[in-house]
């Protein structure tokens, strides 16, 4: 009986430890560790790299749907032109137990006008990103994984620009770091480049565009 009680106690402790591990405050969990991928599914046999991560250690309000939209507006992006999205949503598996889940939202460069500027981006091209949230039952970091890319104008079919994944990432990060604000909310953002999450090169990448393998981690704090 004593041995049985000891075994049950040990199993309870292990279960509690695992629950703490999966729900603790961390930047993010590596999707591949949970059977996921650092490439989304673009629906054309390739994927777009998840090349920016907004840390789960960011201010909690940043990580909500409304919060990421407001932060995006602080760094030069906004919701799609009149809320209209052309094309099918892309999905990502962040290794959190939820499998492949469609993008939460897509945000586009607003050219200085948060209300209607994305209509211009839809015509002339520019930077844009898709948002995926890591909040499944086995890896609930709350982090936001972004697939960022620079795209061509409408006459080019909105295809990704040459080196568009690297250019898009670097432009977004440049706009984000330091102090920004929108709608009465002020942010301070720090950045750290990570290697080892994405393989450099073009293998599996949508449009066969090679990348440098760098993912940038942003930590966004509301002041």
Q: pLDDT for 88-147, tens place per residue?
A: 789 999 999 999 999 999 999 988 878 777 777 767 778 999 999 999 999 999 999 999
Average of per-residue pLDDT across 64-84: 88
Q: pLDDT for 23-48, tens place per residue?
A: 559 999 999 999 999 999 998 779 99
The model carries a pTM of 0.86
Average of per-residue pLDDT across 8-26: 47
What is the pLDDT confidence band of residue 6, given thresholds at 50, 70 and 90? very low
CB 171 within 8 A of CB 207: no
Query: In the chain, what are the domain boundaries?
Result: 25-222
Residues in the chain: 223
162, 164, 145, 136: which is closest to 37 by C-alpha? 145
């Amino acid at each position: 009986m004593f041995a049985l009680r000891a075994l049950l106690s040990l199993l309870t402790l292990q279960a509690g430890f695992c629950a703490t591990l999966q729900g603790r405050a961390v930047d993010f969990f590596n999707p591949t560790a949970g059977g996921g991928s650092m490439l989304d599914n673009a629906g054309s046999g390739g994927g777009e790299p998840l090349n920016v991560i907004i840390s789960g250690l960011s201010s909690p309000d940043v990580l909500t749907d409304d919060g990421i939209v407001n932060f995006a507006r602080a760094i030069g992006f906004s919701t799609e032109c009149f809320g209209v999205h052309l094309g099918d949503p892309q999905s990502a598996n962040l290794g959190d137990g939820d499998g492949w889940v469609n993008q939460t939202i897509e945000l586009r460069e607003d050219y200085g006008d948060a209300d209607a500027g994305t209509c211009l981006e839809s015509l002339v091209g520019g930077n844009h990103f898709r948002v995926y949230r890591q909040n499944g039952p086995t890896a609930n970091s709350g982090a936001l994984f972004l697939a960022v890319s620079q795209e061509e104008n409408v006459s080019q079919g909105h295809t990704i620009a040459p080196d568009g994944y690297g250019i898009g990432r670097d432009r977004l990060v440049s706009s984000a770091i330091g102090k920004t604000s929108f709608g009465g909310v002020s942010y301070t953002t720090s950045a750290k480049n990570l290697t080892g999450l994405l393989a450099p090169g073009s293998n599996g990448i949508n449009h066969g565009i090679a990348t440098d393998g760098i993912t940038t981690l942003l930590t966004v704090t509301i002041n």
